[in-house]
Chain A
Amino acid sequence: MIRIGLRDARAHFSRFVMSIIAIALGVSFVVGSFCFRAMMNDQVDQMMGSNTDHDVYVRGTDEKKDDDTAASSSSMKTYNDVDDTLVDDIKNVKGVKTAEIVYSVSGSLVLVKQDGNAVSTMGSPTMGIGLEKGTWRSAHLTEGRWAKKRNEVALHSYAAESSGLKVGDTTKLVYPTGPEDVTVVGIFDTDASQAGAIILGLAPDVAKELYQQQTGQIGQTQYIGVYGSGNKGQPLTDDQQRALADRINKALPAGSKATAITGDQMRDEYSQSIKDMLGFIQPLILIFAVIALFVGSFIIANTFSMIVRESMRGYALLRSVGASPMQVFSTVIIQALLLGLVGSAAGIGLGWGMVRLIVFGMTKLGTPLSGAASPSPTDMLVGLLVGVIVTFIGAALPARRAAMAPPIQAMNETVNPEKPVRPRAVTGTIMVVLGVAAWLFCWRIATIDGDPTPIGPLNALADRYGTGWPLGIGAGLIVIGVIVLAPALVQPAGVVLGFLPSLVFRVTGRLAMRNLSRQKRRTANTAAALFVGVAIVSCLSVVAASAKASVAGIVDTGLKSDFAVSSAANGQIPDAAVEAVKQVDGVKSVSTSRMLMNIKYDGKRISGTSFAEQPSLFTDVFAPVTMSGDANKALRDGELVVGETIAKDRGWQVGDTVTMTGERVSVDEEATAKAQADWQAQTQAKVTALQQEAQQLAASGDAAGAQAKAAEAQQTITDAQNVDPSTLIRTKSETTRTKVKVGAIISNSIYRTMVLMNDETAEKLADQQTMFTIQLFIAARKGTDTEALRKRLVKAVKPYYVLSVLDREDYKSTMSSMVDQILIILYALLALSIVIAIFGIVNTLALSVSERTKEIGLLRAIGTSRAQVRGMLAIEAAIISVFGTLLGLVTGVGAGVVIRAVYGDNGLEVLSIPWGQLGVFLMLSILVGLLASVQPAGRALKKPVLDAVASE
């Protein structure tokens, strides 16, 4: 029996091609998604191993509920900061080689390339790290030395490569305060690729200063890194790390709120949080794997139905010569298993290739990844199992039919009525209705103030779980419900969708329409593949269009200023640049938005940001949408203007008084004096020692030696005079406090999570160190040629490299282009689901054609032209495809509308349904159908009329 199965498989191989492709695609997504995740994890581990390579870390003991990053998806726990001074305690512990705070800043630096343009990355940050010998074990200097001064920098090899800079070159480095000339003094390499990040080695002092500016944290740090000396300069083993951590813990002073953990633990925590953040990618890929496998399983079912139907006589013969049903079953199933194996194997290869391609593509785009991209044996096994199981499921039913073939073949194929679809209609409708109810519920929670429903328990539920759960449950119910319901919709949909074709092509249109209703389940399954893909894509395109429209809406309705200036490095705008812009001819006013760090209100942070603005903000930049109070007056009078969300959150009303606390950094005169005195004493001691030596040498008659020593002493004095005094300045932070009244509450979407105050109020709380200009709004003087002004502005900010001038349209399109980038990925997924759907339609039609061989022969015999047969099948295919697409569009748009409502407060102000785009999807679906019908129609027509008619 197995031999017969194998022989059949060989004979049928050409028919299996489509099934194999479908299975291979499905499996490739499964394997690819695992493989991709493994690759990313490996990359993360590698980077952790090389970037977070200390043996022991000392960090805070108390987990901090960080309200600054409430919206962050990171699962990384943050702890209280520890005092810098602990370093001294740790240094003295036995076995500690070095203990230090490695300061790094990310996102606020920009390196200027050899050719004078800024180095740009694909989303990876530019990081500045304070490095000197021994601070980073995994980094090796390959050339030159580490940076020692503000105007020196050491480059990571990838940074050197992307900038085209060599040791000795002078270039510009854009600090948050503006560009400065720097010399490349060294190039270093790291063990792992840095995924496209541009890493700059700065002098440790410089990095510390930048870090303090960026974070507003002074004298404190998140953690202290410790290298141990226990393993002859090699990284410590896990046990050694633990022993060292224990010793350090004992040495830490009581009340320091600090604890030492092993480097391994730290790395694991970091890796895990990054992996969690990247975790969403795999399910996304898996959705498409499920679509592909779903289509694959019924392509297989269809293919085997065809084969079984055609070989029925053979099976009957086998049965009549004594084969058991099980044996016949096995002849069919063996073919399926073979097919599954081949398809899965191809899929594993394909999946591996895909990940390889992604890695290649990312490297080309500037994100080199060194993670291992090969699937593990487990991945392969999973892929193989999935493929084979899906194939088995697909083939089981046809195989059963073969096995049950009566020994004397007398099957009349015309009589094979379908099971009624009513039960599915009922179940499906219930599911869809429940799903829609869940969405409505979710929509009401999101949009209605107060109770979303008149029903108490539901409201309690809403309070407890928010919008996420009803949204997800609704989506699940609707998608599955529609798939269940679809067969029942085939007939009415056929009538509606077939109306136009049957008006134009009277006979073929009508035939096509009715043919679809013959196998409602099959038609519905075929359409389902498109349904799911289109639903996802159209939902996301509604969300994307809404996001764009919302930004455009803000600009159109609120933005009054003509230009905005912002920093591409998403950092601060140097004061010099602000001045330069103010000097530009034709500028009426410049409003600066300055962000304040570490501001607390009544002792608590807000889940938003605080900004210092000028009173011209509401008159020249954005018109306020005032809920209560007078925003304009409030800003002028030094009162707070609070965004609606925050006001609601904190329960603030106009007239309330709030105590604000902030931080100012000032020079700690005492400490600085002490540091200078210490340093002077130190230098003095050194000079004295040298002079003494010189005298001794002179006394012993070594005049040359004495002279050398004296020169050395003199040199030390000169050095001391030349030393950068800023390195000796000690700063301290003081807490500032002021009471302010809430003057107005506004609901402009961009201000919802902001608290605005005027500059005077802000300066009471913060200073240059803790307050940065991040955006400028420029109003043009009346009658100024805006295009010329724009050119002048661009010229004015050119020396700062990273500042860009945006006019109103640019302002809109910055958001749009971001959204468009995301959409490109979506379209790739859409294309993929279309390809899979085409397979499905082709296959369904092929089966249908094979079943209708006689009928088509008859149609041909009574005068149906080839074009008419093609037309009939094309209409059938187009209706299937439009049916699936329409279901997808309706569901997807529904989901989009609900999601828009849920995130209405997070910037999706305006609902925009991209009708044009959805129309294109629909047109495309017609095209897809027409395309899919070509091959089956060709097959139908290839069969001579005579054979078709005579085939019994």
Chain B
Amino acid sequence: MGRHTAQAVQARREHDDTAREARGTARTTDVRNGVSRARAPREGEAVARAVDLVKTYGAKDTAVVALDHVNVEFMRGQMTAIMGPSGSGKSTLMHCMAGLDTPTSGKVFVEGLEVSAMGQRQLTKLRREQIGFIFQSFNLVPTLSAEENILLPLQIAGKPIDRAWFDHVVHVVGLEQRLTHRPSQLSGGQQQRVACARALMARPSVIFADEPTGNLDSRSSREVLSFLKTSVHEYGQTIVMVTHDPRAASYADRVLVLADGRIVNDMDHPSYERILDVFAADDSDDVDASLADGADAEGGARA
């Protein structure tokens, strides 16, 4: 199940450039065909990866290790869920991957670009071109209408707006009737769908979603998750999602489990029950017990 090894990381590094080109072609095709055609997720392409990532907080004596030499790759065209108990480092991992946080040591690459070494200017460029975000608390700009919120990233970057794609995205998230509303006039689920549409609009290399269903009721959660899943399978969007909801994680193609700053489990297309099982083991407070399933993953992570 766990396929990450240091060797694999090495091996895939060379593929990055070709992968980007391939993706670029795919996108052009998408546009020509009115966005309807799916881009099949191809194995073996890493959109983002972390190498020997360490993040500690606080001074020497009281240092807390949030990430403990993590090596991980996120595959193109996949939805990856990162799970783990509070304090396991799952959010830290995502923040470091997205360039929101600087690692103490180690490197982060997105589309072959070293995020961990970027300055503010490059980070801005990265956020404009490669990365999309979905937050737990929706984070829409309250002064802008739904439509303006969706188009905001493109406008900020000064990119042309692809109206066909916009209409399509809006149709998929079901917001056609709500475009002129302000966020305060939308329900939580609607707001989060606006946020999803916004992230998708620029078709970034990877969307990082931080507890996207954390503030939603179960029905809205389902809507948002199935929309995210659709975007992965239909349009080949890559999504990395942090969640502690096993139900949400079960929508993912792959589930990583973190504990104490290390990846302790890496599951491919796990069922809801399987995820629950892993967490049941976690709940027994014996983290190592869960390693039984992901021994190789841990080994990989530590290599």
Contacts and interface: CB of A to CB of B under 8 A. Distances in A.
Contacts of A510: 144, 148
A855 B183 CA distance: 13
A864 B144 CA distance: 15
A557 interface: no
Interface stretch (A168-176, A511-519, A660-668, A671-679): A511-519
Given A863-B127, A863-B128, A952-B137, 20 more contacts: A510-B148, A514-B143, A518-B143, A855-B141, A855-B142, A858-B135, A859-B152, A860-B124, A861-B100, A862-B153, A863-B124, A863-B156, A863-B157, A863-B202, A864-B156, A865-B124, A865-B156, A866-B124, A945-B100, A946-B100
A515 B143 contact: yes
A44 to B, nearest CB: 59
A506 B154 CA distance: 11
Nearest to B129: A863
B144 to A, nearest CB: 7
Nearest to B135: A949
A866 B156 contact: no
Contact of A511 (B129, B137, B140, B143): B143
A503 to B, nearest CB: 14
B139 interface: yes
A414 B141 contact: no
Interface size class of A (residues with CB under 8 A): 20 to 34
B153 A865 contact: no
A808 interface: no
A866 B121 CA distance: 8
State the main secondary structure of chain B at its contact with A.
helix
A261 to B, nearest CB: 74
B135 A868 contact: no
B120 A866 contact: yes
A779 to B, nearest CB: 71
Contacts, number: 75
B181 to A, nearest CB: 15
B124 A864 contact: yes
B101 interface: yes
Interface in A852-885: 854-855, 858-866, 868
A868 B156 contact: yes
A862 B143 contact: no
A514 B153 CA distance: 17
A504 interface: no
A411 interface: no
A188 B133 CA distance: 87
A937 to B, nearest CB: 14
Nearest to B153: A862
A862 B127 contact: yes
Contacts of B143: 511, 514-515, 517-518
A946 B101 contact: yes
B27 interface: no
A681 interface: no
B29 interface: no
A265 B295 CA distance: 107
Contacts of B183: 414
Contacts of A861: 100, 127, 133, 135, 139
A415 B135 contact: no
Interface string B212-246: 00000000000000000000000000000000000
User: Top 3 A-B pairs ranked by shortest CB distance?
Assistant: A863-B128, A514-B143, A863-B127
Contacts of B139: 854-855, 858, 861, 949
A326 interface: no
21 contacts: A414-B142, A414-B183, A415-B184, A507-B152, A511-B143, A514-B144, A515-B143, A854-B139, A860-B127, A861-B100, A861-B127, A861-B139, A862-B127, A862-B132, A863-B128, A864-B124, A866-B120, A866-B124, A946-B95, A949-B100, A952-B137
Interface string B178-189: 000001100000
Question: Looking at B139, B156, B183, which has the most chain A CB atoms within 10 Å of its CB?
Answer: B156
Interface of B: 95, 100-101, 120-121, 124, 127-129, 132-133, 135, 137, 139-144, 148, 152-153, 155-157, 183-184, 198, 202
Contacts of B148: 510
Contacts of A507: 152, 155-156
A855 B143 CA distance: 10
Nearest to A516: B143
Contacts of A514: 143-144
Interface in A474-521: 506-507, 510-511, 514-515, 517-518
A858 B134 CA distance: 10
A517 B182 CA distance: 14
Nearest to A507: B155
A316 B184 CA distance: 25
Given A511-B144, A514-B143, A855-B141, A862 B152 contact: yes
Contacts of A946: 95, 100-101
Contacts of A944: 100-101
Nearest to A858: B139
A195 B112 CA distance: 80
B154 to A, nearest CB: 9
Interface string A105-134: 000000000000000000000000000000
Contacts of B155: 506-507
Contacts of B127: 860-863
A866 B125 CA distance: 11
A866 B157 CA distance: 12
Contacts of B120: 865-866
A686 B84 CA distance: 129
A510 B100 CA distance: 26
Contacts of B144: 510-511, 514
A220 to B, nearest CB: 80
A862 B133 contact: yes
Nearest to A854: B139
Nearest to B198: A862
Contacts of B100: 861, 944-946, 949
Nearest to A866: B120
Nearest to A417: B184
B121 A865 contact: yes
A951 to B, nearest CB: 10
A950 to B, nearest CB: 8
Contacts of B157: 863
Contacts of A865: 120-121, 124, 156
A511 B141 CA distance: 9
Contacts of B198: 862
Question: Looking at A510, A518, A863, which has the most chain B CB atoms within 10 Å of its CB?
Answer: A863
A511 B153 CA distance: 13
Contacts of B184: 414-415
A167 to B, nearest CB: 77
A24 B299 CA distance: 66
Interface in A361-379: none
A859 B124 contact: no
B205 to A, nearest CB: 13
Nearest to B91: A950
Nearest to A517: B143
Nearest to B99: A945
Contacts of A414: 142, 183-184
Contacts of A866: 120-121, 124
A858 B210 CA distance: 13
Nearest to B96: A946
Contacts of B202: 863
A944 B123 CA distance: 12
Interface in A923-952: 944-946, 949, 952
A406 to B, nearest CB: 20
Contacts of A854: 137, 139
A864 B142 CA distance: 16
